[in-house]
Amino acid sequence: MTDKKSRIQALISAIISYLQAHRAASPGVGMTLDKLEAMRLSEQALIDAPPQRSRHDTVLNTAIDAIRTPQLQEIAHCLKVAKDDLVWREDNAQFYPSGADLGQGYKNRNLHTMLIGPDACGYDHPDFNLGIFMLGPRTLYRDHNHDAPELYLNLSERSGWRFGTPDWQDYPAGSLIWNKSRAPHATLVYDQPFISVFVWLENVNSPCDIIQCDDWAEVEQNLANQSS
């Protein structure tokens, strides 16, 4: 096995180890692990995709360096080591119905790598996604939902979330967010970048739908004011 493949495999193993240690934290963790355990994540099955950096590489480095929680250090180390082996992409229109109002903040500051899934740089799977997702500082990821049940493992120290309500709640590093199919959710990124593991358990080709909310302009203006 090449060093590159071993680095990608180590990152996936570190994520699985964390989830195994937190199986009881959320029903979505067990469902995710059940799916992962049914997969053949062998050395031979690893894809050898040409790495791809992004325009957000500096922000990504900042996000990874800021992972401080002791229980996340294995993931942080493996991510740091494998980062330049991975294919980093920005969300594009394929995930959203045409004309979806994501906002310029999100469009300008989102990044992900797909470790398992269709077109992944680790393991190919037709209907499952596991990857790393990043948002730049002071970004609103507007309220949305999708058919895919979704699990987030937050790696960054603090992020705001809401689930169909006007109010936000902060979640710490190591927290797990479980969004059942079609459950609304939104993410608020403060003055440090947001980084997480994300999983879509099924229906990965169904697009996201944006859920219009009256306060987006106000929230985004507040974020912009904090940076000036």
Residues that bind Fe ion (CB under 5 A): 150
Closest CA to 75 of 163, 225, 195, 201: 195
In angstroms, give the least distance from the CB of 106 to Fe ion. 12
Helix (H) or strand (E) holding 64: helix 57-65
Neighbours of 216 (CB within 10 A): 17
Helix (H) or strand (E) holding 75: helix 73-82
Which lies closer to Fe ion via its Cβ, residue 208 or residue 219? Answer: 208
In angstroms, give the least distance from the CB of 141 to Fe ion. 8
| Residue 17 tokens, joined | 């180890």
Helix (H) or strand (E) holding 154: strand 150-154
Which lies closer to Fe ion via its Cβ, residue 85 or residue 150? Answer: 150
Which lies closer to Fe ion via its Cβ, residue 95 or residue 190? Answer: 95
Residue 213 half-sphere exposure, CB side, CA atoms within 13 Å? 26
In angstroms, give the least distance from the CB of 146 to Fe ion. 6
In angstroms, give the least distance from the CB of 219 to Fe ion. 17
Which lies closer to Fe ion via its Cβ, residue 9 or residue 179? Answer: 179
